[in-house]
Every structure is written in structure tokens, then in C-alpha cells.
Structure 1
Amino acid sequence: MADVMNIQRHVRLGSNAGQSMTRRDGLLKVTGQAPYAADNRPAGMLHAVTATAGIARGRVAHLDTGAAMAHPGVVKVYTPANRPPLAVHPDTKIHGFAWRTEALQDDTVRYAGQPIAVVVAETLEAATEGARLLNPRYEAEAPRIGLDGNNPYSPETVSIGRPPSLEAGDMDAARAGAARHLETVVETAAQYHNALEPHAIVAQWFGDRLEIDTPNQAIGLAKQSFATYLGIEPSQILIRSPFLGGGFGSKAILFGAQLLAVIVAKDLDRPVKLALRRDQMFGPVGHRPATRQTLRLDLDEHGHIAALDHHTLAVASSFDDFIESASNASHSVYATAAMRTTHSAVRTDTGTPGPMRAPGEAPGSAALEVAVDEAAYALGMDPLAFRLRNYAETDPSTGMAFSSKALRECYAQAADLFGWNDRPLEPRTMRQGRLLKGWGMGTAQFPCPMFQAAAHATLRADGSAVVETSAADMGQGAWTALAQIAADGLGIDVDRLEFRSGHSDLPDAGVAGGSGHTATAGTALFNAGADTVRQLADLATNDPASPLFGSGNAGVTARGGRLYRNDDDSRSEAYEDILARAGLDLVRGEGKGAREGDAQRAMFSHGGVFAEVLVDPDLGQIRVSRLVGAFAAGRIVNPQLARSQLLGGMIWGVGFALHEEAIHDARTGRFTNNDLAGYHIPVNADIPMIEALTVHEDDPFVNTLGIKGVGELGVTGTVGAIANAVWHATGVRPRRFPIHPETLI
């Protein structure tokens, strides 16, 4: 084991990781050659369209299947009366990342937009018209929508299996001794995934073997899920997911329409494609639920947070339990002697919520940053000075040391670039022409999870290599960054590397989510390369004909496709020469990626975000005129891609703060804005100036490569920074997201 680690230690210093390399898949995408799931058109393919519920609660009393079947081109209509059987009930939760789903198990309607039938036809147009002709009739009940009007309940878990509450320190004593008590209530609206690529699936059976093309963030889990529902072995299933047009969490979980497409294809013995329309993305595939968060901050006479109490009331579905873990965002940001975080939920007639970029952390940090800003002003302190006074040197929720924390440096660099020192303390004192100007800040923080992953690395006789793992690239550039890591593990230039990924017959790369994919899959790839180099070193150092003979495995270093003797750099040998003398065409290594043992340190990425807004005092219209963020996230594998991810997260924060809001008709439970005309997201004109800096940070504990995540980090500080800038401009404290102009007038 010591020899292997020595190889890793040296190869880690390779020249690929750390470089701003262009995306390896960029040319395919800009020329239209990148294959997405819905692009697949096998011979004889049929089109499936789901008919969706027009009520939010009740049952389907009648479907005019005869009218649908009479339409030219319609092949078959599936309802609960004739749906092919599944091996297990769709409400079965087969693992922690599985949702109860709708697959025509009965005539119950649980939310508006739920699939209630599937029409299969020779053309998409015929299937669409057949679905329209079903003309459903319902026995409707009054819908339960929103945070009010339903009795809250206490969930057993929040997010995916996390405890619903935490208490550290003596809350009663801390509050009793506090000099000032503040309470802040913040609401966040429901938000829905609107990836550029809607969900789609093409399913084709070859006897008892199933092939699926679908965008997926967790191919291994999806394969397990399909196998369980269908009652077949995972080895009988091949899932291809070469490219994803965005995922944000929604493409990590199997949903009912996917199951229906698969069993329909089996029943008809023909390939079937099903692609959701934009409006069908609202409901069946997860979303970020609405929350109402109450934060109580108790401050001592010196401006320290003595106690922090964060409660979240979140919307849940009527039939499943995914609770947005917003209160957990307060666990590890600010120092406090006592802390309590709790959650409750209300059952509503909506689709089940699910992970959405920075789940829990995004709404939770938004509320926390508003409360902290309010506390700073109550004490007459600069918001940055208040945060520095309450800087957490150790994790307040666990008492553990941080694996690394360069948050002070993030604050300093972002504040300096922004010009924060010129900020007046009082609100409504800055103008740009007739517009009110405000400056605000927020702290960004996101945990650093690792999942389970595996990889193979094969070194060929000519010194080139191929690496394999089923990683998911949602547009973040994962295949480029992972290839850079893999090349360093092998000690070769990335141009000599073939990267194979995106289908389930390859080693399982785990979940592309939680900002942990690069660390997890990257570690597996690096270890596979290191295992290959170890075998190569054994060949060379045990061969009397090699200039490295007698060096021992630990006595050599790999770089540039050669092994070098550590104590004599002039003695080296090319990989291809070692293989040729050994009479081998290849050497293959295997690697795993996972966090070993229980975490003994608190592991987070950090950042500071500073925002400037301009507000029209007459109309209440808000424009974000400047955003500056600085972030520390361990070893940055590809600075160009990391910056792109951070900018994307900050732009997402603009959407959270000012734009995104799903609206239901309270009478029917139906959406009133389930399209991109009514559901607003930021466009280029909303982002005039934005900058993201990365701060150097070495983390020897988070994993062997020192890699943290950046995909969701930028969201967390930005929402609060914008809200606090709006308050500074107007003197009106935002209490609800998105911030509506009418609340400022």
C-alpha cells in the first residue's frame, strides 16, 4: 500500500490538472453532433405522449379511449385498466434515491400534471392528438396548495435520509444571557427545473435485453431501479446517457413516464420514444418546494451570536416525503454558543419535491443571510465586520475542525475588487441618477460530499491510454476535468487519453450531484491510473534490462509518459518500451473513489459574494448591476470550467432572488405559469457585470486529490447578497423570494 501511495503522491503533481483546458466535447456541441437522448431514432420507432391531469386532487372518472384509438396513426392507449404489470408497485421506495411515482397504478389524481394515460402512435403528432381526444372527466376534490391551511407534521428525515433536527449547546442559557433578540421570517417560492433539455427516453427491447437512451445523473442507480421495477437482472439493461442538456438534480431520479415508456416498448415489441413538453416538466420530475423559515438570533453585548434557532416549514407532496433541509444551512457558517435547527412540513397536492441545485442550502442560506444582515444593522455594524466577528474557526454544529477554510481570504479579495470599503452604513443613501443604489453581501458555503465510484484505466502498447467510468456531463465540463485528472493519474498528457463514459456497462461513477462528482469519479479515475503505473513500475524495476532495474516501486516517478528514477533523473524509460520488452499490449488498472472512514473534519467550500442593485423608486423595478464573488474550493482542476460553474451558480442566485416562482391557481391547483413565458429566469440583459474569483486553498483532508465542489457553491451566497443590497438601496427588508417590485413601493 505504501508503494501505491508513493506513486500517487508523485503523479498528483502532473501538468494536466490545474490547466484551463477547453471542453473536449465543445466541438461536438457547437456543430450539432453531440447525441442527446431524444435524437435517437431506431427503425420502427413509435412515439408516446402522456395525457396529464387537469385537476390536482380526485380521480379520473372517464377517458374516451375509443376516440383516441380512432385517430389515424394511434397504435394503443394505455390506462390503469390495461397497463402492463410491473414487478413491484410504483410507490415502492427501492433505495434512498427513489421516489414514489406515477405509472398508471390506479385512477387517483395526486397533483395537476400527473400522467393519467399514455397514447402511442406512429408519429408524434398522432400521439399528441390522441392524448387530446381522451377528454378526461374527473371527480374532483378541493386541492391543498401552499404553506397555509394544512396541519404541519414532523418528518422522520429531511432531504435524503438526514436527521430533521439538531441541537448543540444550551439554548435556554444562551438566550437568557443575551443582550438583544431578533426574529426574522423569510419565505421562498416553489421553483421548477427548466433545463434546456427536457426529460426524454428511447426504450428498445432485444428479447429480454433492454436498451435505454435517457439523460441521467446517476446511471448506476437508474439501472438498479429499472431492474427492480421490471423484475429483471441489471445485467440485462444498458443505459446510454452520453450528453445531458442540464440536470440540476432532476435527472438523478427515475420518474413514472420513463417506466411507462419501457413497459410499453416491451408490450408492443417496438422501440418507443417519450419526450416531455416544457409544461410537463412542472410536476412529475421534482422541484424546489416553497418554504417559510423563522430565524431567531440572540446577540451578546459585544455583537457575538449567542444562540441561533432556525426552523423551516416546507411543502411536501401528499404521497411522499422529500423535505427541503433549509434549516441545515445554518449548521456550520457562523460561530455560536448554542444552536437549534428544526423542520416541519405540510402535505399538498403537488408533485414530490426533490433535489434542485443547492438543495436545502440555497433557500436556507438566503434566509440566514437576511437574518445576519438584519442583526448587523441592529448593532450598527458593517455587514462584513459583523460576519468576521462571528467567523467560525471550528464547525459550530459538531465542534470539529474544518478540513480547510479560506473564507477570510474570499471576503478580502471580493470586497477589495468590489470596493466595499466605500459603502455607507445607512440605507437609501446612494443613488445613480434617479435610481436608488444599494450594496449587499452574503456568505457562500456548500458541503463536500463523496459518493461511491469505480473506474478502469488501460495503458496501450503505444503509450496512449483509455479510461472508463460512467460519469455524467450535464454541461459543466465533467468529461474534460475528469480526463485531466485521469491523465495525471497515468502520468501522460491528456491529448494521449481516450475518455469513455456515458453508458451503464462501464464502471459506476456514482451520482453526478451534490457538487461531489469531480471529487468522487476523479478519485476513482486517478486511482485506476495510479494502479496502472504501479504495475508498469513493477515490470520495469524488476527487469534487469531496464535502466530502472532495482529502483523498487517507490523509487520511481511517472510523468510525460515515462518513469523516472527518483535519485537519478537521467535514468528513465518510456512506457511503450517497458511494455514492449515485457511482451504486453496493455496494462490495466482499477480504482475506487469514496471517502474512507468517518469524517473527522467538517468539509465545506466557501465564498463571499458582493452585490450592487439599482432600484427604480417609483416602479420598484430591481436590476442587479454588479456581482463579485470569491470562492475557495480546494484544488481547482480546470480554472476555466470552475469559473463557468461559479458564474452559473451566481446567475442562478439572481433568478432565485428576483425571478423564479411557480404559481398555482388556488381553486384548481393547476399551474398558471408552466412555461418559459410565465416562469421567469434570468437572461443576458439581467446580468450586466459579474465576476468570480477563485482563492488558492490546499485541503489535505477532504480527499487524496484535495478537490472540493463548485457547482452549487455560487448559488448560496448570491441570493442573500442581492436581498441585502435591495434593503440597502430602499430601506425595505425583503421577506420573500422572489422579491416583488410592489413590496418596495
Structure 2
Amino acid sequence: MSEAFFDKKEYKPLDRVDGRLKVTGAAKYSAEYALPDMTYAVLVGSRIAKGTIKSIDSRAAERSPGVLGVISHVNAIKVPGYQPKGEHPSEPSTGGQPLRVFFDNKIYSNDQPIAVVVATSLEKARHAASLVKVQYNKEEHKTDFDAHTADAVVPASAKKNPKSPTADYDRGEAGAFDTAPYKLEAEYLIPTEVHNPMELQAIIAHWEADDRLTVYDKVQGTKMTQKNFAKEWNLPEENVKVITTFVGGAFGNGLHNWPHETAAIIAAKQVKKPVKLVLTREQMFTMVGYRPRTWQKIQIGATKDGKLVALNHTSIGQTSSYEEFTESTLRQTRMMYASPNVSTRYRLLPLNVATPIWMRGPGEATGAFALESAMDEIAHAIGMDPIEFRLKNYTESDPDKNMPWSTKYLRECYDIGKEKIGWDDRKLQPGQVKEGAWLVGYGMGTGTFGANRNAATVHAQLDADGRLVMHCAITDIGPGTGTAMVQIASNETGIPTERISFHLGSSEFPAAGLQGGSSTVNSVGPAVMAACRSLKEQLITLASKGAPAFVSAKPEDISLENGQLRLAGKSSATLKLAELFSQARVEKIETTQESKPDENRNKYSMYAFSMHFAKVHVHPATGQVRVKKIVCCADAGTIVSPKTAASQMIGGATGGIGMALTEEAVIDHRFGRYVTKDLADYHVPVHADVPEIEVHFINKPDLVADPVGSKGLGEIAIIGVAPAIANAVFNATGKRIRELPITPDKLI
């Protein structure tokens, strides 16, 4: 993006406010806190995928030097929230319940935590864990998704609520596909993908008293975690403190509280010392969720001139045998294109695996691969350019909810991306363009995600020196939350960004929801605006007592510059903050403001949109795919932090490359055990795989969605990238790959 992109009234690029802390090592992550008398825990995982524990022999481990305890279902204290019937306190409405660690001898999946060893050092704990001997009553397990798709079931949420997003959906005529002039029926498969952030999942659990718990925990919601652990241990919420000041990357697995966290809390309670537990990279594959393996079938019917007649989409997603996990795989199909007849069917397949969890672009990224690939396929069958085909079926309002869009500028995204990728060089027939020995292909994919907003509260304090300090419980998993909030506050007040600080990541701060679902700026940003407005109202009240020019002023009329209160349009009307505070005999002013969605949102359908274009090279002899360029354009409302927003899009596109070309978690079904359990075997994109990624923003506010005008960006950064690459591979080779990842063996 050029500097000309940013008009003077728009937000300017800003370096991350916490960047120096991170690059110098001063930022403190969950495993880096040093508490007196710290102990270290290592989990022992099950070596079978289904059955029961016959016996645990921990004698050798208990005698090992430095060991303070070996805890399992045999001797673990009972978690109060599980009693008396054994339900998990966070039992979801979608069916089943989260795994109750150390509750009984039942085994549901391979590497399920069955014991924890606590010692005076990590090395001693790790050695002792290797000495724990377990005997099992093994039962026949089911981990082979493809062999058991017939066992898929209707989700419990759909059974309970016919209007649930997971319920069967029909619009128009059910049999319209059968009589369509042009028809496509195709199946698509996405493998299990695993969260692999740089920072491993980690927790330090510390019982400061029998009824007071503090955890330093890698999570995406301090308030949610506080509430869950308070329920789990029958404690008042104020007696549970959750600290998550920095997070070293997360893609959704911090949106759930996992068994290893409760295991650490149990251990700390039993050894009566702080316990640190950090998962290994291998355990990240089995204990903290993943994008579920998903099979999809799409039927598309269209007319010769490119009008959709019917769109049917069926999906089967993997879940655990004890807890149902659902996601929005079919949402985009219902609302993206103007088909008069749409049917969707969502099913779950329970297997002997751990529970999946939301992974960046949850559901929508999965569904978009099938939908956007199928749209490309039917356009090719008709002989129509895929962009022209999409524009023929462009929706001017939401056909699913029958509501107007709050805003939608997807046409502009098509135009920008088409120009920047060089779409005019694309040929309708595959395999027609070459650069040297390489076949060249162009592809595109559309993405969408809800413009979500939650309630949030911010405390703000302004001192006489013109320094603004804010506090909020929201976490930051990497997008630059503090940077965005500082920019909003600076725009609202006129205070330079270097004189503003935003503190986050503690449950003791004012309440905010999860950092997930692309909702942070949309939720916390309005609370920052409200707090800034409140401070300005207080300043007007103070100023009007001695300066008549300020008597009728409104918050939008004043700004704070160089330690002075200035009235817009009257350069002579200024007051030094220090003098104003001195006259009022106050050292600071402060406010706590909550902002939450209003009823006006209910009148509109609110989504963020993205358009991704890819240019690829494919070697005809080896099947190697090289992504040469990606262009991303987002209709995400107001872009509050242009620099970190661009970084978000680049990161999402990089994840999309992994989704399309490299990522796949493979299970050896003989044992129900992952073969790919480290970053040597599970391949994520590296620098050599990531080309130039060009980012553009429409940057038009959506003030229906929220007062900031933002619509969310984190999810649409990846949704649509994988099909863009798959479609480009087809355009280069004429080979349609419907099962990810697109590896050379599928092209040769």
C-alpha cells in the first residue's frame, strides 16, 4: 500500500506499541513468570485410543529424585465442579461435555492425559514421567474418518433447535438441481489441520490460599477462563485471577479450556506449591484442538448464461466421542450468491480422537474451499470467466436472512484484485500460459465472516501531563490489539500515540470477551471511544468554569495537543491541562465505560468480505506448485491500524498457502495415533513457500456494525485463499484437485 492510500482523516500506519518489548525479550509470556518455590509438571498420555486403564504403577516415578507427586484418577482430588453426578461445569449446549481429566479410568483418544508428574525441575519431572507404567483394557477404536462416514449424525444443537445454524436448511424448491441445464456434483475433502503457534500451550497454577487461585495461562479470554475455573472449583469469580499479558500466536485453540489446565490446577492443589506445565510440540497435536477433517459434497445447477438455479451443500465434520464440536461450514453457501434454491445438510462424525476447536476462519474457511472451488468448476463448464460468473450471481441483500447488508463493497474487491494480479493474462482454457518450463495459472476465491460485536468495558485515566492510560481484560494473540486501541484513542482525543498506553490481559481489568471471531476491534474499540468521550466531557465541565468559550462545547469540538485543551475552530481558546487540573485540585480524571451492541444491528445483515487472487507456477514433470503472487483485498470497514491490518492479511494468506499445499495431520489407524506429530513431519509454509503478498483495503466504514466502523479482519484473511490456489492450479494444469493438500503426487 502506498502512503497516498491514507488520507489525513484516516488512521495512519503505526509501529506496534509492544514491538520493542517483544523483540528485546522483555515481554513476559505465560511460562516465563518466576514464582517462589516453583515446581514443574509433565503429563503422561494414553498409549491406546479407546478402552480403560487396568492399572497405573507409579512407584518408580515416585521414588525418582525430586518428584513431589504422581497424580492420576487413582489419587487425584475431586474437582468440585464435577460433583455429584460428574458433569463438566462447562458442559456445552451442542451435546456431550469436555473431557474430565483424572475423573475415571476411561480412555477416549490416544495421548489423552491420564497422569501428571510434579517435580522440582522439568528434567526430573520428564524422567519420572517416563517411569510411569500403565496397563490397559483395550477396546476397538474408530479413527478412520473415511471408513465411517455412514456413522455421521445430526448434531444435538440441531435436534434441540430447528433454527440452529447446524439444522437442515432449505430455501426454494428442493429438486431444482435435477432439472438445471448445467449441473456439477463434486466431493471435497479437507484433512485435519493442527494449530502450531510459536508459543506452546502453557500454564502456571498457583493457589494463593485454599480458596484463591491465580493462573498465568495461554488463553484467548481471561474473563471466560476466570468464569470457567470459578465454576470448576466452586469459587467466587473474584477469587480466580487469570493473567495472559502476552500470547505467542494463537489461531483459536485458546478459545477453550483444556484438560492440561485443570491437571496443573489439581497438581498445584495437591503439592501445595505453584506448578508450571508446558505442553510439548507433540502434545499440541493431541490435547488442544485442531481444524476437523471434513468431507463436503456440492451440487450446483446453472443456466447457460450463468445464473444459479440450485445450490446444495452437504458437510460431515469430525468430532470426539465425548463432546460435539460444530462450526459454520455452510454459512457462506446460504448467503454469498443469489441462488433461488439452496439446501444445506450438516452432520458430525464422532471418533476416538480429541475434540476439535475453532481454527482461523473456523468453518467458513473449510466451507469456502468447497464452495469457491465448485463455483470455479461450474463457471468453467459453462465457458464463463469465474469473476463474471460470480458477478452474475452477486447478492445485493442477504438471501439467507432476507435483510439488507449493513455495507458490502465486494465488487470493488473484485476490481482491485483483478487488476493487481494481472487477470487479463489468464486464459479460459487451462494450460495455455507458460513462463519458461513452468505452467502458469490464475485463480480466485471469495471469503466472508460475520461482523461480530460483543460488550466490552474500558477504564481510562488522564493525568495532568496529558498521558492517557487505559485498561481492559481483552487478550492479544498477535494482531496488535494494543496498537489499534492506542490509535483509536489518539484519533478521538488528539493525544499523540506515544503518550497513550493500553494495558490488557488480566481478569482484574474491566470485562471484555474473547479475542476470537474477528470481534476485538468491533467490541473493545467502541468502549475506548466511549471512554475518551467521557474524559472529554469531564474536561469541558472543568474548563467551562473558568473559560466561557468552552461552556457550550461538545466532546467532538475539543482535542488534546501538546498538553493543552484546544477548542476546534478557535485557536485562541486553549487551556493547559496542568493549570486546569491544578485549578480543579485534581491530579487526574478517570472513567469506566461499557459499550455494547444496539438493537439497530438487528435490522441488517453484517459481514466482512474478502477477495483473494493467486498466481501459481506448476512444473509439468514434477508436479511442484509454487505460489508466485497473492493479492488480497478486504472489505473490512474502517481500517484502524493499517500496518498491523496488512500484517494480518499477509499472515492469513500464508496460512491459506499451508492449507492448500502442505498441511495435513495423518493418523496411523492401526493405533489411532498421529504419525505427523512435530514440525518436521507436519509441514507449514516457510519463507521459500511464501511469495509477494499484496494487500488492499476498501476502507469504508460500517457504522451500523459498530461506532468504529470496523467489520473484523482476522478470519477473512484466510477464508478463500485455499480455493484461490486450487483454482489457479486447475487453470495451469487442467487437473482439478478436490482433496487438500495439493501435493505433487496428485498432479503427476
TM-score higher than 0.5: yes
Aligned ranges 1:362-511 → 2 under 5 Å: 362-511=365-514
The residue that corresponds to 2:117 in the other structure is 119
Q: Residues 528-585 of structure 1, C-alpha deviation per residue, up to 9 Å, x if partnerless?
A: 12112122222323x1x21435315468433436544457453233444332222222
| CA RMSD of superposed structures (Å) | 2.2
AA matched with 2:592: E
- Secondary structure at the residue paired with 1:213? strand
Match of 1:10 in 2: none
Q: Partners of 1:328 and 1:201 in 2: how far apart?
A: 35
**CA distance in 1 between partners of 2:39 and 2:556 (Å):** 61
C-alpha deviation, 1:634, in angstroms:
0.7
**Cα offset, 1:263, TM superposition:** 2.1
Say which of 103, 106, 119 aligns to 1:105: 103
Residues 432, 97 of structure 1: alpha-carbon distance in 2 compared, 3 angstrom cutoff: farther
Q: 1:189 to 1:708 in 2, by over 3 A?
A: same
Does the CA-based 8 Å contact 2:183-2:378 persist in structure 1? no
1:19-168 matches, cutoff 5 A:
19-89=12-82, 91-94=87-90, 100-150=98-148, 151-157=151-157, 162-165=164-167, 167=169
Distance in 1 of aligned mates of 2:675 and 2:603: 48
Structure 2 gap segments, 5+ residues each: 1-5
2:551 corresponding residue in structure 1: 550
Q: Whole-Å Cα distance in 1 between the matches of residues 708 and 580 of structure 2?
A: 28
Tell me, in whole angstroms, the C-alpha distance in 2 between the residues paired with 1:556 and 1:627: 43
Query: What CA deviation, in whole Å up to 9, does each residue of 1:676-732 have, x standing for no partner?
Result: 011110000001322111223222211111012111212112111000011111111
> Structure 1: how far apart are the matches of 2:68 and 2:424?
69
CA contact (8 A) 1:242 1:472 kept: yes
Matched, 1:529 2:527: no
Is this contact kept in 2: 1:529–1:590, CA < 8 A?
A: no
For residues 177 and 740 of structure 2, the distance between their equivalents in structure 1, rounded to whole angstroms, comes to 29
Query: Aligned to 1:599, what secondary structure does the other structure show?
Result: helix
- In 1, the alpha carbon distance for the partners of 2:504 and 2:736 equals 48
Deviations 1:298-322 (A, max 9, x none): 1124211122111111111100011
Kept in 1, the 8 Å contact 2:11–2:491? The answer is no
The Cα of 1:493 is off from its aligned counterpart by 1.9
User: What's the counterpart of residue 3 of structure 2?
Assistant: none
Q: Do the aligned partners of 2:195 and 2:284 also contact (CA within 8 Å) in 1?
A: yes
Shift of 1:158: 7.6
- Partner AA of 1:126 in structure 2: K
Distance 2:314 2:576 in 1: 61
The question of 1:609 aligning with 2:609 is answered no
Q: Secondary structure at the match of 2:133?
A: coil
Q: Residues 667-682 of structure 1 correspond to what in structure 2 (within 5 A)?
A: 667-682=670-685
What TM-score results when the alignment is normalised by the length of structure 2?
Answer: 0.94
CA distance in 2, matches of 1:291, 1:406: 30
Structure 2 SS opposite 1:738: coil
State the distance in 1 between where 2:470 and 2:480 align: 17
Residue identity matched to 2:575: E
Corresponding letter in the other structure for 2:259: G
**Separation in structure 2 between the aligned mates of residue 14 and residue 50 of structure 1, nearest angstrom:** 54
CA positional deviation for 1:593 = 3.0
Partner SS state of residue 466, structure 2 = coil
What one-letter code is carried by the residue in structure 1 that aligns with 2:656?
G
Q: Is 2:89–2:232's contact at 8 Å kept on the other side of the alignment?
A: no
Amino acid in structure 2 at the alignment position of 1:92: H
Question: What is the deviation of 1:136?
Answer: 1.7
Does 1:590 pair with 2:583?
no
What per-residue deviation string (whole Å, max 9, x for no partner) do you get for residues 570-627 of structure 1?
A: 3233444332222222221222232212522121222221111222222222111211
Corresponding residue for residue 702 of structure 1: 705
Q: Look up the equivalent residue of 2:61 and give its one-letter code.
A: A
What's the counterpart of residue 7 of structure 1? none
User: Shift in Å at residue 80 of structure 1?
Assistant: 0.3
Q: 2:182·2:382 contact (CA, 8 Å) conserved in 1?
A: no
- The CA deviation at 1:446 is 1.8
Structure 1 equivalent of residue 268 of structure 2: 265
User: Residue 158 and residue 363 in structure 1: after superposition, are their counterparts in 2 closer, same or farther (change >3 A)?
Assistant: farther
Q: Which amino acid aligns with 2:203?
A: I
Q: Residue type matched to 2:455 in 1?
A: Q
What CA deviation, in whole Å up to 9, does each residue of 1:431-471 have, x standing for no partner? 22222221111112222111221111111122222111012
Aligned residue identity for 2:74: A
Using a 3 Å threshold, how does the CA distance of structure 1 residues 277 and 242 change in structure 2: closer, same or farther? same
Matching residue of 1:204: 206
| 1:154 CA displacement | 0.2
Change (3 A) 1:443 1:159: farther
Paired with 1:702 and 1:739, the residues of 2 have a C-alpha distance of 37
Name 1:4's counterpart in structure 2. none
Please say which of residues 675-684 and 400-409 is displaced more in the overlay. 400-409
User: What residue is the counterpart of 1:637 in the other structure?
Assistant: 640
1:183 maps to 185
Judged with a 3 Å threshold, the aligned counterparts in structure 2 of structure 1 residues 128 and 555 are, in CA distance, closer, same or farther, namely: closer
Code of the aligned partner of 1:249: G
Alpha-carbon distance in 2 for matches of 1:101, 1:526? 41
Deviation at 1:17, TM superposition (A): 6.7
User: 1:232 Cα shift?
Assistant: 1.1
Conserved? CA contact 2:330–2:344, under 8 Å:
yes
Question: CA–CA distance in 2 between the matches of 1:34 and 1:136?
Answer: 40
**More moved, 44-53 vs 292-301:** 292-301
Distance in 1, Cα, partners of 2:90 & 2:536: 39
Q: Could you say if the C-alpha distance between residues 324 and 169 of structure 1 is closer, same or farther in structure 2, counting changes exceeding 3 Å?
A: closer
List runs of 5+ in structure 1 lacking aligned partners: 1-12
Cα distance in structure 2, aligned partners of 1:139 and 1:578: 76
Deviation at 1:163, TM superposition (A): 2.4
Deviations 1:88-110 (A, max 9, x none): 12752537599612411011111
Contact 1:60 1:139 in 2 (8 A): yes
Deviates more, 1:202-211 or 1:563-572: 563-572
**Quick one: distance in 2 between partners of 1:701 and 1:275?**
43
In 2: Cα distance, 1:307 partner to 1:76 partner: 62
Shift of 1:404: 1.1
> What amino acid is aligned across from residue 77 of structure 1 in structure 2?
V
Q: Contact conserved, 2:325 with 2:355, CA < 8 A, in 1?
A: yes
2: distance between equivalents of 1:23 and 1:395? 37
- Corresponding letter in the other structure for 1:76: G
1:717 counterpart = 2:720:
yes
| Corresponding residue number in structure 1 for 2:171 | 169
One-letter amino acid of the structure 2 residue matched with residue 71 of structure 1: S
TM-score by length of 1: 0.94
User: In the alignment, is residue 319 of structure 1 matched against residue 322 of structure 2?
Assistant: yes
SS of alignment partner, residue 84 of structure 1: coil
Tell me the equivalent position of 1:8: none
2:691 to 688, 692, 710: 688
Aligned length: 731
2-structure distance, mates of 1:646, 1:483 = 20
Partner of 2:653: 650
SS in 2 for 1:623: strand
Percent of aligned positions that are identical: 35
Q: Which amino acid aligns with 1:156?
A: A
Q: By how many angstroms is 1:174 displaced?
A: 4.1
Cα distance between partner residues in 2 of 1:160 and 1:511 = 26
CA separation of 1:718/1:160 partners in 2, compared to 1, >3 Å: closer, same or farther?
farther
In structure 2, relative to structure 1, the CA distance for the partners of 1:428 and 1:113 (3 Å cut) is same
> How is 1:202-351 mapped onto 2 (pairs within 5 angstroms)?
202-207=204-209, 208-351=211-354
* Alpha carbons of structure 1 residues 224 and 616: separation in structure 2 relative to 1, 3 Å: same
